[in-house]
Every structure is written in C-alpha cells, then in structure tokens.
Amino acid sequence: MTRSSDVVLQLADMIAEIKLSHPVRVGIDGVDAAGKTMLADELAKPLSARDRHVIRVSVDGFHNPADIRYRQGRNSPRGYYEDSFNHEAILSCILLPLGPGGNLKYRSEQFNYRTNSQVEAPWRDAPHDSVLLFDGVFLHRPELRQYWDLSVFIHAGFDTTLTRATIRDSEISGSPDETREIYIQRYIPGQKIYLSAELPSEKATVVVHNDEIENRTLTINRRYRRLQPKVGEKSGLCERRTPSRISPLLETHRLIVRLATPEDADFFYELWTNSRVMTNVGFPQGLQITRREIVEKLMAQGESEFGRLLVVEEKATGTVIGESKMYSPNERGIASTDVKLLPAFWGNKYGVELKNELLTYLFTHTECEAIEATPNVENIASIKMQEAVGGILVGEETYEFPKTMRDHAKPVHHYIYRVHRTDWESSNSHG
C-alpha cells in the first residue's frame, strides 16, 4: 500500500499522465456516502492546474424513472442495484462520445430523479485532452466498467457511511430515523449485492481508503498499471485501443476474437456503412443505420457467443479489423459463420485464418454435422476463402429482401459452401 500525505495530488498526477487521442474517462466508484463526489470535486482543481479541461458528471443525472426504479419494491435491495440507473443513456450521452472514435459531443445529465422528469441538457463539445470525472455508485458493473480509462473505488465501512448518510440525507428523507431505515433496508443490502458480484476493489485501477478523510490512503492495483499507449500509438476506431479487459473468445496466430460491446458502435458504423463491404450482402450504398441503433443492438445481445456479434482485432496492434459471427446448428445439424473485414485489411489472408478458427470452435463446441457459408457469386475473395478451408460447393440461391427494404437493398445471388464434419476431422487428424 502506498501512503500519501496528499492522495488527491497523487491521484491527479496519475490521471494527468494519461495521454490518449480522446478524453480520459475516470470513474469514481464507491458505496453511498463513501466520499465519491467530494473526491471528484477535489480532483478538479489540481487537474485544471495541470492544463487539463475537466468535465464533472454524476450518475445522479442518469436515474431511471420512478416506475422502473421501484418496480421490485421501494425497499428492494436488488431493485436498487438492478433498476436505479439508465446505463444506455450513460453510454450514449457520455462514455461513447468521449471514448475511442467518439464525436466529443456529450450531455452531462438526462433525468432529474427529484422531479421524476427528463432533462433536456445541451450537447457540449469536449476538447480531446479533457478529463471526465464521473462519480457514482455501481460503476464497475459489467455494463460500464470496460469504458473507464482509469477507475477509482473509494472504500469506507458501512458503519462510517451510514453515519455520514444520516447527517447528509436527513433533510431529503425527513428525519435521521427515516434515513437510517432506507439505508438499512435498501441501500446497504443493495451495495452488498454489488460488492459480492463485481468485486470493484479488485477491478478498479486505484483504491482510496476513506474511512477517515483526513487520513486517506491509496492503493494501486498493479494488474492495471498500463494506462496509456506507447508514443505514436493512438486510441480509437481502427487504431490502438486502451488495453482491453475483455477476455478473448478465440485466438489465432495473428488475431483475437472477442465479444462485441456497445463501445464498438463506431467501428460497426464504419463497417456497416462501407459500400465496398456491404454491397456483397445486398446493400450497395451501405446499411442505413444510426450509431444509436447500433448501440441499442449491441446492448440487446444475449450472453451466448452463438448468434452474437464478435469483434476481430490484430493481436500485435490491437487494431479492430472486422466482425464475425457463429450460428449454432439448425434442425438439420448445419451451423454457419459470417466474416466481414474492413477493406484496408483485405489481401492479408486474415479471412482464411479466422475462418479456420471459427470452424474449429463450432466443430468442438457443438454437435453440428456441417458448417455453411453463403458468399456472393461476385465476391471472388470470399469464394476462395471458403475453398481454402475445405468448403464444398453444394448449391446456389438468390435471397430477396422484404418489400419494405427494396428501395435500398438488392437481391443477393449467392453460392452455398459447406465444410462437413467428417472431412474436417479427417483433415485435422494427425495419425
């Protein structure tokens, strides 16, 4: 543990040293009344003195409406943990626009929980070298934790925080006794659910021990010490990313495949609106879709890797180069795959390398009898890829889009290639 006579200055130095091509997003987490807002406000002055523009935002501006917050009961601990905040709004208003490839336009609040009404906060422009200080509870839950470039967990015991909350919140709740009751029944048990499920003190970059504010101490979690790219590297769309904390699903010699997240929305927008990519699947002008629609699609994905969007990265650089999908077998025992790469990465045999790994995963994780792909008859590169991995041409069809889509989509004449399990097992047998 590193002790400091001035934890605030030490933490400000750490944050100021992070140099990215987008604002540094700092999440300041902790249980209710741990001292999150106080620390965030204290950090603003020394960061400004270090020539960093500071953006101050609180999770309190992103509550869900009351009917959602209390749908499991006004005193429900699980309802407090699961239903209090609008994570999609936090992403779309703050974390995505200020992250890699973002447009740097943000809104600092979206909902007023006191009046139970929407807030039409203005969109503001953030300088690229800004620091976002975002304080709030539950910031290391899965929906949010991967988006912090540096995160702080403020630790304080529940005896301490209950005493602080009783003093702080009594005017709002009506009396000290009413404050204690709601904390004991809802807030503290809800926080215990979070602490047990997510272990934020282990996942945070930094832990600040704050039972005694005048005697704070700071611990740096060494597992997340690499906080900035090397000189010359960039963060963002098709550039060097902040090191991913998402475990790879698949790895090849040169590639990593991981589950897609809402932070990948800008990449998918670039890919899906690229006419060279999408003309092969029937959209000669690119897919007509907005970033918000992509975020919603990514947030609505299930837990399984099958049927879910996957992101493909270069292992050596962290560059995002494409997407892939795996579909579990249908009633006939036929699984399928899909691969799309940005044009800048065509011609490197990445497709064959990736396709071979997808085949291996499907044949070893499902009981499929064959794996199918349907390349456009004009997509020579995709056809060669299917043949390179042992695909056999078994037919061809023309897919017709629904009438509602025919103003911007064209029929797709495609081949049907299949790799059969028996052939795959034979070719992968080594005696």
Q: Would 63 be classed as within a structural domain? A: yes
Say yes or no to pLDDT of 239 above 60.
no
Domain contains 243: no
Whether 407 is in a domain gets the answer yes
Q: Are residues 191 and 307 in the same domain?
A: no
- Minimal CA–CA distance to 338: which of 429, 257, 397, 404? 257
CATH number of the structural domain spanning residue 307: 3.40.630.30
Neighbours of 264 (CB within 10 A): 25
**How many helices and strands, by DSSP H and E, does the chain display?**
15, 18
Please indicate, yes or no, whether residues 298 and 372 belong to a single structural domain of this protein: yes
pLDDT band per the 50, 70, 90 thresholds, residue 246: low
Range of the domain at 403: 250-427
Structural domains counted in the chain: 2
Q: Is 162 helix (H, G, I), strand (E, B) or coil?
A: helix
Q: Would you say residue 230 lies in a domain?
A: no
CB of 156 closer than 8 Å to CB of 211 = yes
Indicate if 283 and 387 belong to the same structural domain: yes
- Identify whether 229 is part of a domain: no
Distance spanning both ends of the chain, measured CA to CA: 55
Question: Residues 282, 208: one domain?
Answer: no
Spatial contact of 167 and 33, defined as CB atoms under 8 Å apart: no
Same domain assignment for residues 219 and 256: no
Q: Are residues 155 and 254 in the same domain?
A: no
Least confident of 20-24, 111-115, 219-223: 219-223
In a domain, 235, yes or no: no
At residue 166, the 3 state secondary structure works out as helix
Judgement on whether residues 73 and 210 belong to the same structural domain of the protein: yes
Which CATH number characterizes residue 83's domain? 3.40.50.300
Q: Indicate whether 42 and 158 sit together in one domain.
A: yes
Q: State the DSSP code for 73.
A: -
Q: Which residue has the higher pLDDT, 102 or 364?
A: 364
Last residue in a domain, options 155, 189, 224 = 224
Between the alpha carbon of residue 317 and those of residues 242, 254, 268, the distances in Å are 11, 10, 19
Distance of CA 116 to the CA centre of its chain: 28
- Domain boundary (206, 224, 242) is at 224
Structure tokens at 186: 């809802």
Give domain status of residue 240, yes or no. no
Residue 240 has pLDDT above 50, yes or no: no
Count other C-beta atoms under 10 Å from residue 212's C-beta: 10
Do 419 and 301 lie in one domain? The reply is yes
Statement to judge: residues 122 and 190 lie in one domain: yes
Q: Using pLDDT thresholds of 50, 70 and 90, give the confidence band for residue 114.
A: very high
